[in-house]
Structure 1
């Protein structure tokens, strides 16, 4: 009997460890730009749902509870997702994108007869393949990727403009520096120029006198 109990315990532990391992892999494979995907929640989740789900998932794969080479990374993703959805402004932005995604999906499915007020349990939506939630997430993924790429292009352009402005500023500084140095050299050679001019004038004067004497 004791042997059977031990076997049951081992099987239960192995099953629990397998579930934790699968959860780590799920989090790591989730779409990182959508915190709903990371926490495995629908966009209709309440604040209470978010907190409960985060607690459940984080306790499941917490590095202190389950040793996995990428457990800490997965745990950090969960925490970031919970932070994003707990921040009203961040969640509002994500919800706007996902609402837009749902609208786009409804338009594709129902055509001109679509309405944003149609509930998910409407008969026209309950038997979809893939399910409505999955289609909305896929469309949301497309929009989020486009937004992220646009943000990166904007950041890259800003850095490029910043670099161009910096290069121009450095060129202006270098030009002013050269101008100052050239002016300083010009001033340094003033006496030499005056002497050269005097020598030239003196030689020219002597030549003119010599020529006048020959002609006379």
Structure 2
């Protein structure tokens, strides 16, 4: 009986791990609050404490060493990224550019939540799975995905411009090299051209002067 109970407990644990991994992977990768199941509009002043508890609980649940689920590494990487960004103090200036960018990303995410909440006029609920909170996250996800697409378009456009500039630089360099090569060849052949010209002019007969008739 004890063995059966252990088997059932292990099966329940595996199921819980698989469900959590699937849930994390279904979240918008840039909605770090959704990944950690934290509502940023309720008790934001206690975020550090909520963050520690949520990350510890979830990291133990979906750590790749704890499960054979092949998607565990991807889910765990998203979880670590979410914890890292949300743990940054967005109110401070950071000398490190990466930290500064991540602090700005955290602040922007909180602002998006607040903006969507003001627009939808939803009731603030402590329950993460409340229908209003679900609606809020859906709207936030749409904005984040739209923003990501716009960034991708801008990156693609910038890359095309950069490639065009590089091609223009290469073309100009080839043209300068060709001109330089032609000028060098012109100078090298100068002596041959002079010799040919002298040989040509020496063969040309000069017109004879007519003799004047002497009158008797």
Normalised TM-score (structure 2): 0.79
Q: Which moved more, 1:167-176 or 1:60-69?
A: 60-69
Q: Distance in 2 between matches of 1:200 and 1:81?
A: 86
Higher relative contact order (CA 8 A, sep 6+): 2
Q: Distance in 2 between matches of 1:120 and 1:28?
A: 26
Q: Tell me how far 1:16 sits from its aligned partner.
A: 1.8
Aligned residue in 2 for 1:24: 21
Q: Distance in 1 between matches of 2:70 and 2:143?
A: 32
Aligned residue in 1 for 2:120: 105
Q: Tell me, yes or no, if structure 1 residue 91 matches structure 2 residue 103.
A: no
1:61-140 alignment to 2 at 5 Å?
Answer: 61-87=62-88, 88=90, 89=103, 90-106=105-121, 120=124, 131-140=131-140
Aligned residue in 2 for 1:116: none
Task: Give the secondary-structure state (helix, strand or coil) at the position aligned to 1:180.
Answer: helix
Q: Distance in 2 between matches of 1:146 and 1:194?
A: 72
Aligned residue in 2 for 1:170: 170
Q: Tell me, yes or no, if structure 1 residue 179 matches structure 2 residue 179.
A: yes
Q: Distance in 2 between matches of 1:11 and 1:93?
A: 44
Normalised TM-score (structure 1): 0.79
TM superposition outliers: structure 1 runs of 4+ over 4 Å: none
| Cα distance per residue 1:99-125 (max 9 Å; x no partner) | 22223323xx8xxxxxxxxx526xxxx
In the alignment, structure 2 segments of 5+ residues that lack a partner are 91-102
Q: Distance in 1 between matches of 2:194 and 2:115?
A: 80
| Cα distance per residue 1:159-196 (max 9 Å; x no partner) | 11111111111111111111110001100111122123
- Residues paired across the two proteins, number: 191
**In angstroms, what is the RMSD of aligned CA positions?**
2.4
In the alignment, structure 1 segments of 5+ residues that lack a partner are 110-118
Task: Give the secondary-structure state (helix, strand or coil) at the position aligned to 1:171.
Answer: helix
Q: Distance in 1 between matches of 2:142 and 2:11?
A: 38
Q: Distance in 1 between matches of 2:30 and 2:192?
A: 72
Task: Judge conservation of contact 1:98–1:140 (CA < 8 Å) in 2.
Answer: yes
Task: Judge conservation of contact 1:101–1:143 (CA < 8 Å) in 2.
Answer: no
